[in-house]
């Protein structure tokens, strides 16, 4: 094949994930990949939690956990603990777990309990009791068992994963960017250019012909990737692709972030993200090996940046000289993520507030979907592939959005206009409205998610954990069930089962 050129504009995590996956996939083709990053435009500098999907990113690149995790001060993540999102008595917190094979013993029983509760029976419905990952997090244990004698051939850490646990990571986002940059340059021959794009030249058919840098270079390419963050320089500012805001059902548009040290004698960490509801948003706490990452995501319509900073400072007991970082967020998605010869990846293509740490998941999802269908052949008409790619990518953004919206419309905190307006949202998708109808009408939510193919981004466990974890049930109390006639499961039974299983797992240690 005649040499093909790809120019990636941007130097954040999205750009380096794209560069690595492109270069890896096209290793045997004659493709030159160049990343151009403006030295004076900083990366967003936050984004420290992942979903389990990121494991497959490292695995396909052959990068071992034992290599990248120490380099990025990374820790393991069993799920997310939600605190104070519901004011229903007995439901002040719950754990949103990643699944494990071991859950098969109690997963369906838990869902059946939630069904009984929806019929009006008083049974145990706290998700924390029914999932392996919740049990591990509570005990500050790792979701894996290291096994030094095991083979390392998988390309990831040699470990003994007897229950096929699905877990995710926390990491220092700046260090991850540096790690991926170095890997792309040294292992995959990706070129790097430190310069700012100041102009873009288009062909008459709308394709981008070349980009101009402030160092007087002109770079032409067959394919351009816009990884310029919220500025969306190529796809929006040049190709004029419209942006569809989600502001009407996701109010948060700002954040204030700060790092804090581990407490003085801490020898272990809890392998979970904690998300605590605040007066006009929520606060994250992420444990890294080197420190904790914290931030308050809020709506500037309801709270000023000064007041949000003050609230964060108070909740973390920060000293006055601790520096915090304020950020603005553009929440929504592009109408099209691939237009002409330009693909947008990362914050440039859209962003859903980071409540479930899904941004890099959508980045990886978009890159892999693109690699499945893209062809460098200029004579090949790719209109159909492009439309299909855009349709599926939009579908992903909307399904993730629906699940995030669910956290707000189901809240029962009437402490402020922010929470009240969230609970009264009328502008929700037909899919979300339908699923809520299924829940409240006492139907089978798992079955409906599968039939409508709505479980690709958030499966049955996630939906049941959230709704039951908030204590959202129809008001039709029938009293205690009768064990002879109604089959239900006691939380104690599940707790004992997981207590036995988790005995084998090691503590989540902070490295000295
Ligand atoms: C508050 C907050 C919390 C988040 N938490 C999470 C999380 O827990 N999990 C998660 O997955 N994601 C999270 N994210 C999202 C995550 O931070 C981003 O998805 C990720 O960092 C990728 O960003 P990016 O590379 O698209 O953009 P950026 O990091 O903004 O990078 C943009 C790049 O473009 C370059 N650039 C811009 N203009 C030009 C130009 N003219 N010429 C050349 N280069 C240019 C800049 O120099 C920079 O390198 C969070 C985001 C926010 C705001």
Instruction: Write down the domain spans for the chain.
Output: 4-48+172-248+331-399, 78-143+160-166+429-502, 254-328
Q: Is 466 in the pocket of ligand 1 (CB under 6 A)?
A: no
Measured CA to CA, the distance from residue 388 to residue 372 in angstroms comes to: 12
Top CATH class of 4-48+172-248+331-399 equals alpha beta
Mutate-to-test residue for ligand 1 from 37, 359, 363, 366, highest number of ligand atoms within 8 A of CB:
359
Taking only the tens of pLDDT, the chain with its 512 residues reads 789 999 999 999 999 999 999 999 999 999 999 999 999 999 999 989 999 999 999 999 999 999 999 999 999 999 999 999 999 999 999 999 999 989 999 999 999 999 999 999 999 999 999 999 999 999 999 999 866 554 444 434 445 566 688 999 999 999 999 999 999 999 999 999 999 999 999 999 999 999 999 999 999 999 999 999 999 999 999 999 999 999 999 999 999 999 999 988 889 999 999 999 999 999 999 999 999 999 999 999 999 999 999 999 999 999 999 999 999 999 999 999 999 999 999 999 999 999 999 999 999 999 999 999 999 987 788 899 999 999 999 999 999 999 999 999 999 987 899 999 999 998 999 999 999 999 999 999 999 999 999 999 999 999 999 999 999 999 877 888 887 788 899 999 999 999 999 998 999 999 86
- Candidates 39, 47, 199, 365: which one to mutate for ligand 1, based on the most atoms within 8 Å of Cβ? 47
Give the mutation target among 278, 354, 357 for probing the ligand 1 site: most ligand atoms within 8 A of CB: 354
Residue 441 neighbours by CB under 8 Å, 6+ apart: none
pLDDT for 159 equals 55
User: Helix %, strand %, coil % for the chain, to 5?
Assistant: 35, 20, 45
353: CA distance to ligand 1 center in Å?
13
C-beta of 346 in contact with ligand 1 (< 6 A): yes
- Of ligand 1's listed atoms, the one at least distance from the Cα of 360 is 11
Cα-based distances in Å from 227 to 115, 357, 363, 437: 44, 19, 10, 39
Instruction: Indicate if ligand 1 lies below 6 Å from the C-beta of 46.
Output: yes
3-state secondary structure of 494: helix
Place of tokens 């189901």: 410
Tokens at 237, concatenated: 């500012």
Asked if residue 287 has its Cβ within 6 Å of ligand 1, the reply is: no
C-alpha 480 – ligand 1 centre gap (Å): 51
The residue whose CA is least distant from atom 53 of ligand 1 is 329
Q: Residue 117: left if φ>0, alpha if ψ -120 to 50, beta else—which one?
A: alpha
Strand blocks (E) in 335-422: 338-339, 342-344, 350-351
The reply to whether ligand 1 has any atom less than 6 angstroms from the CB of 253 is: no
Q: Give residues with Cβ within 8 angstroms of 299, minimum separation 6.
A: 251, 252, 253, 254, 280, 281, 418
pLDDT at 256: 98
Q: In the prediction, which pLDDT does 485 show? A: 81
Task: Look at residue 162 in the predicted model and tell me its pLDDT.
Answer: 63
Report the nearest-CA residue for atom 16 of ligand 1.
47
360 lines ligand 1 (CB under 6 A): yes
Please identify, by atom number, the ligand 1 atom nearest to the C-alpha of residue 295: 1
Residue nearest to atom 1 of ligand 1 (CA): 255
- Rounded to the nearest angstrom, the gap between the alpha carbon of residue 420 and the centroid of all alpha carbons in its chain is 26
The torsion region of residue 84 among left (phi > 0), alpha (psi -120 to 50) and beta comes to left
Does residue 9's CB lie within 6 angstroms of at least one atom of ligand 1? yes
Out of 228, 294, 329, 352, give the residue to mutate to test ligand 1, the one with the largest number of ligand atoms within 8 Å of its CB: 228
Please state the atom number of ligand 1 nearest to the C-alpha of residue 15.
25
Question: What pLDDT score was predicted for residue 148?
Answer: 54
Strands 168-170 and 75-77: antiparallel
What's the burial of 398, exposed, middle or buried (CB within 10 Å: 0-12/13-18/19+)? middle
Please state, as a whole number, how many other Cβ atoms lie within 10 Å of the Cβ of residue 406: 21
Give the residue among 357, 36, 32 at the shortest CA–CA distance from 168: 357
Distance CA 471, CA 294 (A): 27
Is the minimum distance from the CB of 350 to ligand 1 under 6 angstroms?
Answer: no
Decide whether any atom of ligand 1 lies within 6 Å of the 97 Cβ: no
| 475 membership: H or E segment, kind and range | none
CA R_g for the chain: 24
**How many whole angstroms from 337 Cα to the centroid of ligand 1?**
16
Residue nearest to atom 13 of ligand 1 (CA): 47
CA dist 176 → 35, 66, 245, 473, 489 (Å): 16, 14, 29, 42, 43
Residue 197 CA, closest ligand 1 atom number: 42
- List residues with catalytic annotation: 77
Which tokens in the block code for residue 476? Answer: 């039709």
**Token code pair at residue 282:** 């929520």
Q: Ligand 1: distance of its center to the CA of 383 in Å?
A: 29
Q: Which residues contact 438 (CB under 8 A, 6 or more apart)?
A: 444, 445, 448
C-alpha 346 to ligand 1 mean position (Å): 7
Q: What is the per-residue pLDDT for 147?
A: 63
With the C-alpha atoms ordered 283, 284, 289, 290, is the resulting torsion angle positive or negative? negative
Q: Does residue 7 line the site of ligand 1, with CB under 6 A?
A: no
């Amino acid at each position: 094949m005649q040499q093909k050129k790809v120019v990636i504009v941007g130097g954040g995590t999205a750009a380096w994930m794209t560069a690595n996956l492109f270069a890896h996939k096209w290793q045997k083709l004659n493709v030159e990949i160049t990343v151009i990053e403006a030295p004076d435009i900083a990366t967003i500098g936050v984004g420290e939690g992942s979903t389990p999907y990121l494991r497959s990113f490292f695995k396909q690149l052959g990068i071992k956990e034992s290599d990248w995790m120490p380099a990025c001060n990374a820790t393991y993540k069993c799920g997310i603990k939600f605190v104070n999102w519901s004011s229903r008595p007995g439901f002040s917190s719950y754990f949103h777990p990643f699944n494990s094979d071991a859950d098969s013993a109690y997963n369906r029983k838990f869902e059946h309990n939630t069904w009984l509760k929806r019929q009006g029976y008083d049974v145990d419905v706290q998700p924390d009791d029914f999932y392996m990952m919740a049990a591990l997090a509570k005990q500050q244990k790792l979701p894996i068992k290291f096994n030094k004698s095991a083979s390392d051939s998988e390309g990831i850490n040699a470990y003994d994963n007897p229950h096929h646990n699905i877990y995710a990571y926390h990491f220092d986002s700046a260090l991850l960017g540096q790690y991926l940059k170095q890997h792309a340059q040294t292992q995959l021959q990706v070129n790097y250019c430190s310069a700012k794009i100041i102009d873009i030249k288009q062909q008459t058919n709308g394709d981008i012909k070349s980009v101009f840098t402030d160092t007087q270079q002109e770079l032409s390419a067959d394919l351009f990737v816009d990884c310029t963050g919220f500025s969306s320089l190529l796809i929006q500012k040049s190709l004029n692709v419209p942006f569809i805001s989600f502001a009407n059902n996701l109010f948060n548009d700002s954040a204030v972030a700060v790092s804090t040290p581990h407490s003085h004698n801490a020898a272990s960490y809890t392998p979970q993200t904690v998300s605590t509801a605040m007066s006009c948003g929520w606060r994250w706490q992420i444990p890294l090996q080197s420190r904790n990452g914290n931030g308050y995501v809020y709506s500037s319509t309801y709270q000023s940046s000064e007041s949000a900073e003050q609230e964060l400072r108070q909740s973390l007991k920060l000293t006055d000289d601790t520096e915090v970082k304020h950020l603005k967020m553009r929440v929504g998605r592009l109408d099209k993520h691939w237009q002409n010869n330009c693909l947008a990846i990362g914050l440039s293509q859209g962003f859903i507030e980071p409540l479930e740490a899904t941004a890099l998941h959508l980045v990886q999802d978009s890159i892999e979907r693109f690699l499945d269908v893209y062809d460098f052949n200029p004579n090949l008409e790719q209109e159909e592939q492009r439309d299909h790619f855009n349709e599926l990518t939009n579908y992903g953004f909307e399904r993730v959005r629906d699940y995030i919206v669910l956290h707000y419309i189901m809240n029962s905190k009437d402490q402020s206009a922010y929470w009240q307006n969230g609970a009264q949202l009328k502008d929700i998708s037909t899919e979300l409205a339908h699923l809520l109808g299924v829940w409240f009408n006492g139907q089978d939510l798992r079955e409906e998610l599968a039939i409508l193919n709505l479980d690709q981004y958030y499966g049955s466990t996630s939906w049941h954990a959230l709704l039951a974890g908030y204590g959202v049930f129809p008001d039709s109390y029938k009293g205690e069930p009768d064990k002879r006639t109604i089959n239900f499961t006691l939380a104690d039974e599940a707790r004992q089962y997981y207590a036995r299983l988790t005995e084998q797992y090691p503590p989540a240690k902070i490295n000295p």
